[in-house]
Structure 1
Amino acid sequence: MARKSSADDGLEHRLHRSVSCFAFNGDRTQIAISPNDSNILVYEVTPGSTDQWKLLHELKGHDSFVSGIDWSATTNLIVSSGHDRNAYVWRFDGGKWSPTLVILRINRAANCVQWSPDGNKFAVGSAAKQVPVCHYEVSNNWWVSKMIKRHKSSILTLDWHRNNKFLLTGGSDYKTRIFSAFISDIDSTDDEEDFENIFKDQFKFGAILAEFDCSKGWIESVRWSPSGFRVAFVGHDSTITFVQILEGAEPNVQCLRVKNLPFREVIFLSDDCIVAAGHECNPYLYVNKGSEATPNWEFREKLDKEGAEGAGGAAKKSSKVSAFAASKLLFQSTTSKGTSGSGMGPTVLKTRHQNQITECKVLFEDDSESSSSFWSCGTDGRILNWDLKKLGISMDGLNIS
């Protein structure tokens, strides 16, 4: 965990005023972030606090808010998307990062972006009800797109299956879908996982392989499990849904409605362990208590022990507060999130993150399909590491090696 910064009232160091998205390089020695504007900053990552990280590069090209960043461990290329309706592929050459043209062919904002596992294509979720799946054309030195057009509203989140062929999407039409993103020129027709008996049209680009209509709010985040046979997604109606894909039968779907504020992100630490985080500023741990074919997911605990010494610290009290400010702070302190202070002066949450968690990333070691740690960023400008073992979380039933 990052050490505390004495300059920030006992809270952990803020890298920026806000961080909307981030991505590590392959060996995790560098990180690319968006400080909630049109720029991308690349830092050298060092052990300890983020205040020791060194700014190496500033990537300028987008004309509006950068909505997504991904860094391919295979090719060392960075891809970014923005509300300026553009995506750029950044290549490091001659000591600097240079953008390559991407032909997206969309007339609305690009909301998210992700490399495929093989690093030979990437997908962009857009507000134009389309998902451009882009691959490189050597002869023209640009990235061209093939369109998945079966959505009815903005695509807010997406995730690639480990086989490089299936694409999971979620949008503001409240639906989560699995598409075939197979491109014959670059993808193999090998079916090592026997999906032919599950998805008949797996080699037909743009085909809907499955659709889930469980949430009554827009879909904030979607994820494949490491094995590729489970799916999880969270909705803005404070639901989290788990799907088990079965051969020769309808998928097993379990939807849980939670009492807290909506989640914005969901990740698998293993096939039997999920972390969800968002507007509560605190990661929630969910564990599978059932079998492989019929999982039964349950909430176990919050990872941030609110109110613990050092979780948020105490705010410095202000002696001069206007009546309006005092009323506002009093209202804030009575919300569902834990706060310290009496309503007079700056309010400090009893969590490590002081505002909503916007993105989480789990970094698996080599061919491992489980991890006990992950990273998160938030609109409070902090990038934090969470290690379940260091937090004293029991590993029983988590299927984490």
Structure 2
Amino acid sequence: MIDRAAVCVKWSPLEDRFAVGSGSKLLAVCWFDEESDWWIGKKIKKPIRSTVTCIDWHPNNVLLACGSSSDFHARIFSAFTSSGPSESVWGKHTPLGAVLFDYSDGEGGWVLSVSFSADGNKLAWTKHNSTIFVADASISATPIVTRLRTDFLPFVSCIWIGPSTFVAGGYDCCPMLFRYNEQSISFVHQLDTKSESRYGGKVTAMKKFQDIDRMATADNTSSRLPTIHQNCINEIRILKGDRSMASELSSVGRDGNLVLWNFPTLSEQIADLKIV
């Protein structure tokens, strides 16, 4: 079905299908066919013109969002087969492969991550030019796209953790909380509070070996970042709760670390914070 690398794969919410994004410039939607007693797949190719770098399923188990590399587009396709709702705020779901949303700001930058909100009415995505986007289909017949150009390094992963909040992480090695409200995106705060003293104390032989292995140096003082992750965050997942209200996250990075982020309910967490 594909003759290039499979770059990303994700099960649908009901776990009866999965989607694969590849270097073949296509999406493959796969499911088990009981009549043939075999897994089958359907290609979604047009209008994708480059490697599919990221995918995410809509909560209704029918729509599929994806981001591409060198064509710089975020898109929503229908993955409708024989079951599921026939339409939503994004439009009609039939036939399979129908394009319900297609957006590019024209400024370049690979799309690195896409994420549907819990209600499925909003889609957030991040690009390699350090911008964050939210498309809101609940406001009007045509989805409204809001953009925030940040001063941070690019975000590799993003995920909604509340009705109007999402977390993104990437090359700054720190998960960051953002809020979407009334067609505006605002940075709230970092989940990892930087602390110089966190890494103080005796340096063991094992720690020196880890520094050599991960950062090609044994100098623990000059190379260590003031964050828990010491390299780019590859992915952020919800550990407790769901996208409507998450209470614990996990993140994995290129430093080989898996980090758990435990915080109170979102309302308690941001009650006394000011948006900057």
Name the TM tier (shorter chain): 0.7 to 0.9
Q: Is the 8 A contact 1:313 1:348 kept in 2?
A: no
Partner of 1:358: 234
Of 256, 261, 268, the match for 1:381: 256
Alignment-mate amino acid for residue 267 of structure 1? I
- Provide, for residues 169-201 of structure 1, a one-character-per-residue CA deviation record: whole Å limited to 9, x for no partner: 0010210000000012xx23x45xx62x6413x
Alpha-carbon distance change, 139 to 249 in structure 1, aligned in 2, over 3 angstroms: closer
For residues 1-400 of structure 1, the aligned pairs below 5 Å read 105-150=1-46, 151-172=48-69, 173-184=71-82, 187-188=83-84, 190=85, 195=88, 198-200=90-92, 202-214=93-105, 216-246=108-138, 248-288=140-180, 290=181, 294-310=182-198, 312-313=199-200, 316=203, 341=221, 343=222, 347-363=223-239, 365=241, 369-389=244-264, 394-396=269-271
How many residues end up aligned between the 2 structures? Answer: 261
Q: Secondary structure at the match of 1:349?
A: coil
Alignment-mate amino acid for residue 169 of structure 2? A
1:301 shift after superposition = 0.9
Q: Is the 8 A contact 1:160 1:166 kept in 2?
A: yes
1:226 shift after superposition = 0.5
Computing the radius of gyration from Cα coordinates, the structure with the larger value is 1
Alpha-carbon distance change, 304 to 206 in structure 1, aligned in 2, over 3 angstroms: same
Alpha-carbon distance change, 329 to 146 in structure 1, aligned in 2, over 3 angstroms: closer
Q: Is the 8 A contact 1:373 1:385 kept in 2?
A: yes
1:158 shift after superposition = 0.3
1:148 shift after superposition = 0.3
Q: Is the 8 A contact 1:125 1:158 kept in 2?
A: yes
1:270 shift after superposition = 0.8
Where does structure 1 differ by over 6 angstroms across 4 or more consecutive aligned residues? Answer: 390-393
CA distance in 1, matches of 2:137, 2:112: 21
- Supply the RMSD in Å over aligned alpha carbons: 3.0
Alpha-carbon distance change, 198 to 126 in structure 1, aligned in 2, over 3 angstroms: closer
Alpha-carbon distance change, 166 to 313 in structure 1, aligned in 2, over 3 angstroms: farther
Q: Secondary structure at the match of 1:351?
A: coil
CA distance in 2, matches of 1:126, 1:198: 24
Alignment-mate amino acid for residue 75 of structure 2? R
Q: Secondary structure at the match of 1:143?
A: strand
Q: Is the 8 A contact 1:238 1:263 kept in 2?
A: yes
Alpha-carbon distance change, 212 to 142 in structure 1, aligned in 2, over 3 angstroms: same
1:240 shift after superposition = 0.8
**Percent identity over paired residues:** 34
1:396 shift after superposition = 2.6
1:388 shift after superposition = 2.4
CA distance in 1, matches of 2:157, 2:97: 25
Alpha-carbon distance change, 153 to 315 in structure 1, aligned in 2, over 3 angstroms: farther
- Provide, for residues 259-315 of structure 1, a one-character-per-residue CA deviation record: whole Å limited to 9, x for no partner: 121110001001211100001100111123x3xxx33220011111112532x4468
Q: Is the 8 A contact 1:315 1:348 kept in 2?
A: no
1:359 shift after superposition = 0.7
Alpha-carbon distance change, 391 to 239 in structure 1, aligned in 2, over 3 angstroms: same
Alignment-mate amino acid for residue 107 of structure 1? D
Alignment-mate amino acid for residue 129 of structure 2? D
Q: Secondary structure at the match of 1:125?
A: strand
Alignment-mate amino acid for residue 240 of structure 1? I
1:374 shift after superposition = 0.8
User: In proportion to residue count, which structure has more strand?
Assistant: 2
CA distance in 1, matches of 2:165, 2:159: 9
Relative contact order: is structure 1 or structure 2 higher (C-alpha 8 Å, sep ≥ 6)?
1
CA distance in 2, matches of 1:392, 1:126: 39
Partner of 2:209: none
Q: Is the 8 A contact 2:90 2:101 kept in 1?
A: no
Alignment-mate amino acid for residue 79 of structure 2? A
In structure 1, the gaps of 5 or more residues are 1-104, 319-324, 334-339
Q: Is the 8 A contact 2:162 2:266 kept in 1?
A: no
> Could you state the TM-score of these two structures normalised by the residue count of structure 2?
0.85
CA distance in 2, matches of 1:348, 1:308: 10
Alignment-mate amino acid for residue 154 of structure 1? T
CA distance in 1, matches of 2:204, 2:17: 52
Alpha-carbon distance change, 143 to 211 in structure 1, aligned in 2, over 3 angstroms: same
1:363 shift after superposition = 3.8
